[in-house]
Amino acid sequence: MADLSNFSIKENVEEGVVFPVKIKGQKLPIALRIYGSDSDVVKNFERQRIRKLGIKPNKDIDDEILDELIETQDETVYVRIGGIYEYDWKKKEVTDGKTILCGKELKNDKESYALLIEAIPDIKDFVLEKSNERANFLA
């Protein structure tokens, strides 16, 4: 019998997977729940973004549309984050502690995600890399 259960990613893509954050060899005391690029929430966001910009197949993208795509790039990261958690690297687990950045407690909302990315720009690449790699969502 060939059991492919371990290769099914749909549930993990939709619910997100918690990843401890390590950037440039530095272990940050947080973990992020990240949704896969194939998740409904990400696909719906991208569809709405494309419709809003009026992009159609085989249509040249003018400078105005290109500028808008660049300006909304951070939004594509926010939609992939499903939570911020304190992370204990020694215990290798999420803890119940608060996460503070620039004197503000980070919550699971767009404002906190924006603050996190503004303060630590490399988080953007971390999130996109994890979200786009399907192997990260194997059961």
Each residue of 67-103: pLDDT tens digit? 666 566 788 899 999 999 999 999 999 998 999 999 9
Q: What is the mean pLDDT of each run of 10 residues along the chain (139 residues)?
A: 66 90 96 93 85 67 63 82 95 92 93 94 94 83
Task: Quote the number of domains for the chain.
Answer: 1
The pLDDT, as a whole number, for residue 48 is 85
Q: Is residue 4 part of a domain?
A: no
Q: Is residue 9 part of a domain?
A: no
Q: Is residue 111 part of a domain?
A: yes
The pLDDT, as a whole number, for residue 95 is 92
Buried b (16+ CB within 10 A) or exposed e, 41-72: ebeebeeebeeeeeeeeeeeeeeeeeebeeee
Coarse DSSP helix, strand, coil percentages of the chain, rounded to the nearest 5 percent = 45, 20, 30
Domain extent, residue 103, equals: 14-137
The pLDDT, as a whole number, for residue 69 is 60
The pLDDT, as a whole number, for residue 2 is 63
The pLDDT, as a whole number, for residue 122 is 95
The pLDDT, as a whole number, for residue 80 is 94
Q: State the first-to-last Cα distance of the chain, in angstroms, to the nearest integer.
A: 18
The whole-angstrom separation of Cα 139 and Cα 124 is 25
Sign for the CA dihedral angle at 109, 119, 128, 95 comes to negative
The pLDDT, as a whole number, for residue 57 is 60
Q: Is residue 7 part of a domain?
A: no
Q: Is residue 75 part of a domain?
A: yes
Q: Is residue 59 part of a domain?
A: yes
**pTM (2 decimals)?**
0.82
The pLDDT, as a whole number, for residue 113 is 95
Q: Is residue 133 part of a domain?
A: yes
Q: Is residue 2 part of a domain?
A: no
The pLDDT, as a whole number, for residue 138 is 78
